[in-house]
């Protein structure tokens, strides 16, 4: 029951049709008797800078979840950004500090790496291909770099994004080998689609699945559907997969702590979630 005491977590992005967070957070809040609600808010890029400041003028806002296409923009809108956000070049969590300043953090990468490790999939010493070097791809690259992979291969249709990410990684993780490459998955231990390709039915695949080895784990951050075309094709080749919501479930406990709520584990969140499709 939403009432005059309800606190809001804004989930801001555009478009909002693939948002899963309200179906995960809100059942959890009900289960613990927390009078809070996650609300999806569709805000286009040109309106976002003004909107983010305006929404934090509300007295009953607890924080904001930020998703595409605003994560990279958010880094320049907050007053203080965490080291994780600085490395990633993006923020996906914003809250107001006691002094009124906006604080930004980034949890996508931690969620993705936690999901890999929970599956028993090694990161240290592995070869990884990341397709898409925007906010989520940068966050994943930063989190994986902390686990000392043998090499991170980066690809983005906007080559400047890949080169900028490589520079940040080499600044903060100088021992990590980083290469700008084409999206060739052959010889990789882990292949990650961190691009928007797969959100729409007519999107092309982000890479040539015929070059995937059966032992390569293929992950996708797209949540428009559980089994994206890329993941379906990878499964047909015998590859283990990681679906987009795996990253989401693993980062939510970190988000909850960040916003000052009682936290839980990914398994509990999955049991309570009311996901469709």
Angstrom CA distances, 231 to 108, 112, 215, 228, stand at: 19, 16, 14, 5
**71 belongs to the catalytic site:** yes
Residue 126 has pLDDT above 80, yes or no: yes
State the Cα–Cα distance between residues 137 and 127, nearest whole angstrom.
16
Q: Which of 20, 71, 96, 127 is catalytic?
A: 71
- The pLDDT value recorded for residue 215 is 96
Confidence bin at 238 (pLDDT 50/70/90): very high
- For 135-145, how does the pLDDT look when each residue is reduced to its tens digit (9 = 90+)? 889 999 999 99
> Does the structure show a pLDDT above 60 at 16?
yes
> How does pLDDT run across 185-210, given as a tens digit for each residue?
999 999 999 999 998 888 999 999 99
pLDDT greater than 60 at residue 277: no
Number of alpha carbons in the 13 Å side-chain half-sphere of residue 172: 21
Q: So what's the pLDDT on residue 135?
A: 83
pLDDT of residue 179: 97
Q: What is the residue-averaged pLDDT of the chain?
A: 94
Q: pLDDT above 70 covers what percent of the chain?
A: 100
pLDDT tens-digit readout, 41-82: 999 999 999 999 999 999 999 999 999 899 989 999 999 999
- Please tell me the pTM assigned to this model: 0.81
The stretches of 147-243 forming alpha helices (DSSP H) are 159-172, 229-236
Kindly report each contact of residues 56-61 with a partner whose C-beta sits within 8 Å and lies 24 or more positions away, as own/partner: 56/94, 56/96, 56/102, 58/8, 60/5, 60/6, 60/7, 60/8, 61/7, 61/8, 61/9, 61/10, 61/96
Burial status of residue 121 (CB atoms within 10 A of its CB: 0-12, 13-18, 19 or more): middle
Provide the pLDDT for residue 18: 85
């Amino acid at each position: 029951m939403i009432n005059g005491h309800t606190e809001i977590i804004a989930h801001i992005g555009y478009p909002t049709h693939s948002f899963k967070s309200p179906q995960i957070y809100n059942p959890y809040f009900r289960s613990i008797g927390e009078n809070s609600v996650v609300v999806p808010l569709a805000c286009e890029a040109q309106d976002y800078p003004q909107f983010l400041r305006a929404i934090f003028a509300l007295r009953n806002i607890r924080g904001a979840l930020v998703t595409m296409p605003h994560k990279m923009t958010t880094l320049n809108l907050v007053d203080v950004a965490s080291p994780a956000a600085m490395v990633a070049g993006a923020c996906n969590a914003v809250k107001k500090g006691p002094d009124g300043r906006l604080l930004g953090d980034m949890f996508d990468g931690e969620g993705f790496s936690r999901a890999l490790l929970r599956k028993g999939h090694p990161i240290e010493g592995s070869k990884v291909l990341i397709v898409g070097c925007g906010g989520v791809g940068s966050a994943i690259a930063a989190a994986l770099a902390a686990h000392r992979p043998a090499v991170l291969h980066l690809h983005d249709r906007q080559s400047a994004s890949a080169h900028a990410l490589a520079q940040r990684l080499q600044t903060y993780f100088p021992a990590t080998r980083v290469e700008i490459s084409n999206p060739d998955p052959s010889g990789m231990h882990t292949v990650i689609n961190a691009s928007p390709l797969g959100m729409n039915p007519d999107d092309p695949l982000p890479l040539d699945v015929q070059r995937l080895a059966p032992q390569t784990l293929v992950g996708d951050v797209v949540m428009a559907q559980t089994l994206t075309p890329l993941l379906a094709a990878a499964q047909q080749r015998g590859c283990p997969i990681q679906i987009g919501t795996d990253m989401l479930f693993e980062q939510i406990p970190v988000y909850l702590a960040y916003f000052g709520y009682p936290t839980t584990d990914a398994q509990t969140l999955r049991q309570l979630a009311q996901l469709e499709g």
